[in-house]
Amino acid sequence: MAFQGSLEELPLPDVIQLVAASGKTGKFSVKSRLGRGDIYLRDGQIVHATTTRLGGEEAFYELATWDEGDFVFTPGDESLDETINKSNTNLLMQAAQRIDEWKVLVTRVPSTRVIPVFTPDGGSTNVSLTPGEWGVIRRIDEARSIEEIAKLMNKSAFEVSKTIFGLITSGLVDLREPAQDDRLNRLQKMTVQDLQELAQAVHSRANALLGNHGGSADTETAYKTAAQQIAAGNGAAALLEQFRTVERAVLAALGPSQAQEFAESIEKLVAS
C-alpha cells in the first residue's frame, strides 16, 4: 500500500528515517515546484536517487533540501541501479551540513558559473596545497567556470566550490563574472515597461523557488532597487545585479543545480 503526504507537514529526511527503520524496499517519488525526483530504498537502505539533472548522492542531497511539494512511497518498487553506498545516517547528516556550508560558501563564491582566475600575487604566495587543491589549480585556465571544472574532474560543483573558497582565502585565486556584454546589450535595448516586467518576473521566480528558505529579504531589496533604478533610467545594470542576488540566494538555499536552472530560465527571459 502506497504511503503519501506533504513535505510541508512531513519533511523528507524525517519520512525517510521512519520508512527506513521498518526495513522496507520501495521508492519515494517527490514532486515539487523545484522539480521531480526519486529515492530508492532496499531493505531500509538508500541505494539510488535521481532528479532531472542529477543522480546518486548529489540527487539525494538536492531532494533532501526540498521543503515544499508532495511525496509518495511505493513499497516494492526497486531500482536496478545502486549509486549510493553510504549509510542513511551519513547521507542525512551530510545533506544538513551542505545546506549550512553553502551559506558560508556564497560569501566568496556567489555562483558556480563564475570563472576562477589567478591573482597577480598568486605566484609569490607561500602556501602548501593539498592534492585536491592541486587538481583544481591544474584545471584553472581563466576561461572555465566552476561548473566546467567540476565536470572535467568528475566532481560535484559543491566539492570544487569548497576548494575554490580555500584558494580565494589563501590569496591564490579570484573570481571573474562570465562575459555579460550580450545580455547587457539586450537589456539596454528594452523599453522601461519591458524592464519592469522582467524585474517582476525575476522576483516572482525568486519567491516561487525560495519559499520559506533564507535569502528572501535580499531578493526583495534587489527587486525594489531594480525597480527604482529602472524608473531612473539605469535599469540594465540594476537588473544584472538583481539576477546575481537571486542566483546567490538560490545557491545558498537549494544548491548549484537549482541555481543553474534559475540562471538558464533568466537567460531565456532576456533572450525572448
43: left (phi over 0), alpha (psi -120 to 50) or beta: left
Instruction: pLDDT band for 42, please (50, 70, 90 cuts).
Output: very high
pLDDT above 90: residue 125: no
Mean pLDDT of 105-134: 85
Length of the chain: 272
Domain boundaries, the chain: 3-96, 106-176, 181-271
Mean pLDDT of 132-158: 92
pLDDT above 70: residue 212: no
Mean pLDDT of 226-247: 90
pLDDT above 90: residue 82: yes
Instruction: pLDDT band for 215, please (50, 70, 90 cuts).
Output: low
Percent of the chain residues past pLDDT 90, beyond the cut: 55
pLDDT above 70: residue 126: no
Q: What mean pLDDT is reported for the chain?
A: 89
Mean pLDDT of 100-115: 92
Instruction: pLDDT band for 8, please (50, 70, 90 cuts).
Output: confident
Which pLDDT score is estimated for 216?
73
Which pLDDT score is estimated for 253?
87
Domain 106-176 coded CATH 1.10.10:
yes
pLDDT above 80: residue 159: yes
DSSP 150-214: HHHHT--HHHHHHHHHHHHHTTSEEEEPPP-HHHHHHHHTS-HHHHHHHHHHHHHHHHHHHTTST
Order of strands across the sheet with 3-6? 3-6, 70-75, 26-32, 35-42, 45-51
Which pLDDT score is estimated for 140?
94
Cell digits for 73? 512511497
Contact status, residue 63 vs residue 56, Cβ threshold 8 Å = no
Which pLDDT score is estimated for 147?
92
Contact status, residue 118 vs residue 173, Cβ threshold 8 Å = yes
Mean pLDDT of 258-266: 88
pTM of the model: 0.81
Mean pLDDT of 128-145: 92
pLDDT above 70: residue 124: no
Which pLDDT score is estimated for 173?
94
